Amino acid sequence: MFLSDKWKDYELLDASDGEKLERWGDVILLRPDPQIVWTVSEADKSKLWRAADARYDRSHTGGGSWKTFKKLPKSWTIGYRELKFGIKPMGFKHTGLFPEQAANWDWFSDIIKNSGRPKNEVNVLNLFAYTGGATMAASAAGASVCHVDAAKGMVTWAKENAVLSGLDERPIRYIVDDVKKFVEREFRRGRKYDGIIMDPPSYGRGPGGEVWKIENELFGLIESCLNVMSDNPLFFLVNSYTTGMSGNVMSNIYKLTLCKKFGGEIDIDEIGLPVTNGGLVLPCGYSARWVKR
């Protein structure tokens, strides 16, 4: 398992009965998680369950809402290594960051730093880039980054994270666009990338109403990405939370695309967060990594 266990400002305190108890800096949140199918006895539960600042309650009719037990800041900042991120409770239980992705940030940051290429000459494309965790990590490692997401609000948030991390003067392009159309245009423009990162949703819509369904679109998108990869690429990363898109499915896709064109090595595994109480690990989807040795 790829384990994100280097955090200081984030901590998964406990997990039981479909809920996770998390510390985000000084704020403690309770959020639902369908992977938590086990029960921790009341005697063994962390005492911090009673110290939560807010809880996200799902609605029986869909969606849900935050219930606050203490006054929450509108937003606050947490750090990972040299990076800083703005956090705030959002709809659909989110906070603006997926802490399990830190394991991937460390992985591709090491590749960029050890590539032997001058600073800013490793070009990275981050698709479905959300609030920019991977963008900030790649930029801090020395890459030039193109950040693409269909949601304008998420791209704005990513720019704010760049300012917090002191990366606002770094070479980062922010693009609000449908990722498939953007990759096709980059191919026509002749742009090339040494590393590609994507964290596709199971289902979504682009800014023009374009429909994305991962089982229908992912293979074709990766095929299109081959056209914008440099002659000597470094890495390719797909992260998925979609049930049914197993590691073996991703291995087959990589063998038919990346390995067929470039060779290289595949490493696919679950990604997870350690649970402080009880020594458990919470699985959080999986990551499919490809490197060109």
- pLDDT tens digits, 274-287: 999 999 999 999 99
Confidence at residue 173, expressed as pLDDT on a 0 to 100 scale: 98
In the chain, CATH 2.60.40.1180 sits at 2-87
Dihedral of the CA atoms 32, 33, 36, 40 (nearest 10)?
A: -20
- Beta strands 195-198 and 123-127, pairing class: parallel
Name the band, by pLDDT with cuts 50, 70 and 90, for residue 242: confident
In the chain, CATH 3.40.50.150 sits at 99-291
Q: Is the pLDDT of residue 68 over 90?
A: yes
More confident residue, 250 or 62: 250
Contact 110, 138 (CB under 8 A): no
CA-derived radius of gyration, the chain: 19
The pTM for the full model equals: 0.94
- Contacts of 44 by beta carbon, 8 Å cutoff, 6+ apart: 277, 278
> Tell me: the pLDDT tens digits for 173-219?
999 999 999 999 999 999 999 999 999 988 877 777 777 788 888 99
- Contacts of 121 by beta carbon, 8 Å cutoff, 6+ apart: 144
For the 2-87 domain, the top CATH level (class) is mainly beta
Work out the number of other CB atoms within 10 angstroms of the CB of residue 263: 9
Work out the number of other CB atoms within 10 angstroms of the CB of residue 39: 11
Going by C-alpha positions, the residue among 277, 258, 276 that lies closest to residue 267 is: 258
Confidence at residue 60, expressed as pLDDT on a 0 to 100 scale: 74
Confidence at residue 215, expressed as pLDDT on a 0 to 100 scale: 82
Mean pLDDT of 258-273: 97
CATH superfamily of 99-291: Vaccinia Virus protein VP39 (3.40.50.150)
Q: For residues 275 and 18, what is the distance between their CA atoms, to the nearest angstrom?
A: 14
> Tell me: the pLDDT tens digits for 72-106?
999 999 999 999 999 999 988 999 999 999 999 99
